[in-house]
Structures are given as structure tokens and as C-alpha cells.
Amino acid sequence: MIFVYSLGGSILAGRDAVSLAEYAQALKELAAEHQIFVVVGGGRIAREYIEKARALGANETFCDMIGIGATKLNSALLVAALGDAAPQEIPDSYAQAARLAQPGKIVIMGGLAPGQTTDAVSALLAEYVHADKIIVATSVDGVYTADPEKDPAAKKLERMTPQGLAHLAMQTEMKAGSRSPVDPLAAKIIERSCIPTAIVLGSKIENLKKGALGGHTGTEIRPE
Ligand code: UTP
């Protein structure tokens, strides 16, 4: 099967070399049987740099370009952790990513264009390579009915439709570095492509496999 991961930058950046190697090992095990693509987010570096640039008067497109730079930096770290299992080239297009895919090789890429996040890149890549599933491995453990940090009555949704996800994403603010389960473009692409999507807590290594093959405790996005 073909799996596309959207890996939040914070999940990699907080790890030491040993822990990065463990994460890479889990991806290699999956790649023995499946074709894997991983789109890496910008994490804390992106947020810090964007905040400073914005405070200095940089426009939002330029802030996005800084964010893309951070995603590429994090991608390079994962490429280093994967060694021979990943091409050293970080693709600048979906076509290039598809060309780099080979059995046993894990294609790693970062952001591409301003105005979106790496979730959108993952969704578009998933469409492009006819992926069986998108796994959003992020800093939250699923989609909630409300912000669990602000509302104690917030409940995690086991399942959600792509339309529900799109509706939720459209309500969030579209600003460089903003936080939401997925950005509006990603949600719209997931809606149009109907590719099954899992939103799981990426810091748990076992969620890489469970997100793809089942058994996780996050949110599954599927048509009714
Ligand atoms: P991320 O995809 O990491 O965004 O890209 P995020 O959702 O804010 O981060 P996580 O999931 O919490 O780690 C970081 C920033 O890079 C820019 C955006 O500004 C984004 O917020 N970016 C990224 C783009 O402009 N285009 C892309 O294709 C990717």
C-alpha cells in the first residue's frame, strides 16, 4: 500500500539522535512492505522565526517562505536519520517526489508553496501518488468537539467525515504558523479525493504503524 505521512515538525525537533534513529527505524519497518512518503512540518523553529520576522514587519508570504525553510531543515534531519533508506534529495515538486519513490526507499519532503502548511502538501502528494491513506502524525491526539485546553467538556471524535473536517478547518485563522488539526486547503483536498485519513499523536512511535494499518486512538476521517 501507499501511505503519506504528515509529520509535525515538533515531533522530530524535540528528539535526540537516539530517539530520531528509533523513529527512523519504525518508518523503515513500514517501508519494507509499503511505499512511504513523509512530509515534515516546521515545528518550533518555524514558529519562532515566523514570529520574529512578523514582528520585524515581514509580510505573510515572506513568513511562509521562512516556514518552508524550516520544514526543509527538519526534512534534512529525518533524511540523515534514515541513511540509505531515504533519497538525499528533498523534492521541490510532487512529480519529483513521485519519481524518487522506489521499493524500500522513503521519500521525505517539506513545504512547497506559501499560503498553506505541510498538511496540504501531504494531501496533494497523496492525490498525486494515489495513496491509500494519509496519516497526520501531529501534536494533538485527534480532533475534538472543542478546544480541550479551554473547554473541559470537549470530546475526542473517533470518526469524522471529510466534510466535517473541511467545515472545522475553514473556521480556523489562516495565518503563517497558526495551529489547527489540518489547514483549510488540506481539508478541501481530503474532501475531494476521499482518501482515508488518520489524525494521531505523532510523538508515540507506534502510531506511525497504527495510523496506517489501524488500532490507534486518534480520529479517522472517512466518508459516511
Ligand atoms: P507546518 O506545516 O509545520 O505548519 O509549516 P504548522 O501546522 O504551523 O506546524 P506544526 O504542524 O504545528 O508543526 C510551518 C509553516 O511553514 C509555512 C507556513 O507558514 C506554515 O505555518 N509553509 C509550510 C508554507 O507556507 N507552505 C508549505 O507548503 C508548508
Question: How many domains are contained in the chain?
Answer: 1
Instruction: Tell me, in angstroms, the distance from the centre of ligand 1 to residue 5's CA.
Output: 14
Cα 147 to Cα 98: distance, rounded to the nearest angstrom: 36
Give the structural domain span for 167: 2-221
Q: Are 24 and 82 in contact (CB under 8 A)?
A: yes
Q: For the segment 77-118, what is each residue's pLDDT rounded down to a tens digit?
A: 999 999 999 999 999 999 999 999 999 999 999 999 999 999
CATH code of residue 167:
3.40.1160.10
Q: For the segment 146-200, what is each residue's pLDDT rounded down to a tens digit?
A: 777 788 888 999 999 999 999 888 876 554 544 458 889 999 999 999 999 999 9
For a mutational test of ligand 1's pocket, the pick from 5, 71, 75, i.e. the residue with the most ligand atoms closer than 8 A to its C-beta, is 71
74 Cβ closer than 6 Å to some ligand 1 atom = no
What is the full DSSP assignment across 133-193? Answer: EEEEEESSSSEESS-TTT-TT--EESEE-HHHHHHHHHTS---TT---SS-HHHHHHHHHH
Crossing angle, helix 184-193 and helix 118-128, to 10 degrees? 20
Instruction: Tell me, in angstroms, the distance from the centre of ligand 1 to residue 123's CA.
Output: 14
Q: What is the pTM of this model?
A: 0.94
